[in-house]
Amino acid sequence: MDQSETELAALLADDLYQHYGQLVLRYQHLLYSFALRLTGSRQDAEDIVQEAFLRAYASLLHFSVPRLRTLKLRPWLYKITLNTFRQYTRTPQFQALPLGLSEQSPALELPEAELAQPEILYEAKEQQAELEQLVASLPARYRVAIACYYFEQMSYSEIAELLDQPLGTVKSTVSRGTKVLRETQKSQHTERRAF
């Protein structure tokens, strides 16, 4: 657990109601990106993350102070988000209005160097969107592991803990998923050239 995560856990243990907003601000964009890669849908990702934060808050209300102080927030929140995604895909959903992002949102901030070169930024965003769409189309057994490893920069051991799988299984899943992803990408590029 890094220092700021430890400090945030201590703050939550001291006053959950007052400091829960800090938890949401710190992890909302990470969890949204994770959910988006799993679903391929902005609306579904927003719904999943919102529900995950509600579940997290409800759980934290019942945690003892010592447990809260030692809680590894990041993996715990990813686990809740993954479980919410799994439940979400099993049940039909109602249509809802998107949460939206304000103009001041950190998710919309761009580094100065990229602003100077819009064509590079556009191409990078296009490639990223294409890759995320490909990951979202992977079979479920590969999708989560690939999203965690490549996009969330989780280690194999963190993924193994998240998925409750042996380390070797996770390594194999990431390897096979990467192979399927490359084959899918290659076949799509071949199809585009045919037209």
Q: What is the pLDDT of residue 97?
A: 39
- Cβ atoms 47, 84 nearer than 8 A: no
Q: What is the pLDDT of residue 129?
A: 73
Mean pLDDT of 92-108: 47
In the chain, what are the domain boundaries? 1-90, 115-195
Distance CA 57, CA 23 (A): 10
Specify the long-range contacts of residues 57-63, CB closer than 8 Å, at least 24 apart: 57/16, 57/20, 60/12, 60/16, 60/20, 61/16
The backbone region for 164, taken as left when phi is positive above 0, alpha when psi lies in -120 to 50, beta otherwise, is: left
Distance CA 161, CA 75 (A): 8
Question: Is it the case that residue 2 has pLDDT exceeding 60?
Answer: no
Q: What is the pLDDT of residue 51?
A: 94
Q: How far is CA 179 from CA 73, 113, 172, 182, 186, in A?
A: 32, 33, 11, 5, 10
- Residue with the bigger pLDDT between 181 and 55: it is 55
115-195 topology per CATH: Arc Repressor Mutant, subunit A (1.10.10)
- Residue with the bigger pLDDT between 172 and 91: it is 172
Sign of the four-CA dihedral 64, 66, 68, 71? negative
Return the structure tokens found at 90: 């099993």
Class of 1-90 in CATH: mainly alpha
